[in-house]
């Protein structure tokens, strides 16, 4: 099987790591080689000392992208979960890849502020964290994400299904049983998206 990178982008608390891990589980069930590069883990292993300035964020994303490229071109499905707020750098990293699928986790800021699993939004709003994406730092929405998920509306189950079905439809992964409930409407939406982007 040919490898590829599956890149989850979105604001803090949008569910990137959760979905990445769910998708990883399905890949493993299907016997696919898979690695998850999680933003926080990468900061520890590859980018200690970098700040959250635009320049340092871009450096961090380039490092993740460089590693994901190495894995992907060696037959691995590399799942990245990283805020990656800037469009130009996401585009640059995409260009390094032969196969690159972007998943945008969209959610209204108000919902994320309520979710606030680690209390980060609260700290950011109180001015205790600088350069916090969504509060004191910009997030540039993707224009051509292969998959868009509204994490305030779509359940985890349907979100995972949508990612997996997208990858199946373009034959990036072996087909398997669909998880959970899955409607014809949903199927049609995925097809339309992939047609728009020229995949099918």
Pick the closer one to its own copies by CB: 30 or 115.
30
CB of 136 to its own copies, least distance (A): 24
User: For its own copies, which is the closer residue by CB, 23 or 135?
Assistant: 23
User: What are the structure tokens assigned to 157, written together?
Assistant: 């189950």
Instruction: Give the pair of three-digit tokens for residue 176.
Output: 């398997």
Phi, psi of 42 (to 5 degrees): -65, -40
Radius of gyration of the chain (CA): 16
**Is 53 considered catalytic here?**
no
Measured in degrees and rounded to the nearest 5, phi and psi for residue 77 equal -85, 110
Nearest to its own copies of 35, 187 (CB atom): 35
- In the bound complex, what is the minimum distance in angstroms from residue 68's beta carbon to its own copies? 10
Residues 11/111, Cβ–Cβ less than 8 Å: no
Site residues (CB under 8 A) for its own copies? 33, 35, 45-46, 48-49, 59, 62-63, 66-67, 70-71, 74-76
Q: How many whole angstroms separate alpha carbon 175 and alpha carbon 119? A: 39
Which of 14, 47, 68, 84 is the catalytic position? 84
Minimum distance from residue 141 beta carbon to its own copies (Å) = 28
First to last CA, the chain: 19
Catalytic residues: 84
């Amino acid at each position: 099987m040919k490898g590829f990178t599956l890149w989850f982008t979105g604001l803090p608390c949008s569910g990137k790591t959760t979905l990445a891990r769910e998708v990883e589980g399905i890949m493993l069930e299907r016997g696919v080689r898979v690695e998850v590069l999680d933003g926080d883990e990468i900061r520890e292993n590859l980018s200690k000392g970098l700040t959250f300035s635009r320049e340092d964020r871009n450096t961090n994303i380039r490092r993740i992208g460089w590693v994901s490229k190495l894995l992907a071109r060696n037959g691995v499905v590399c799942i990245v979960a990283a805020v990656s707020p800037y469009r130009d750098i996401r585009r640059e990293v995409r260009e390094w890849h032969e196969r690159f699928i972007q998943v945008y986790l969209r959610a209204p800021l108000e919902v994320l502020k309520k979710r606030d699993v680690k209390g980060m939004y609260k700290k950011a709003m109180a001015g205790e964290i600088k350069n916090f994406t969504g509060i004191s730092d910009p997030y540039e929405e993707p224009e051509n994400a292969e998959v868009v998920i509204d994490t305030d509306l779509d359940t985890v189950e349907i979100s995972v299904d949508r990612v997996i079905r997208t990858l199946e439809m373009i034959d990036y992964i072996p087909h398997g049983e669909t998880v959970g409930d899955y409607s014809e409407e949903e199927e049609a939406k995925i097809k339309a998206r992939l047609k728009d982007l020229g995949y099918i």
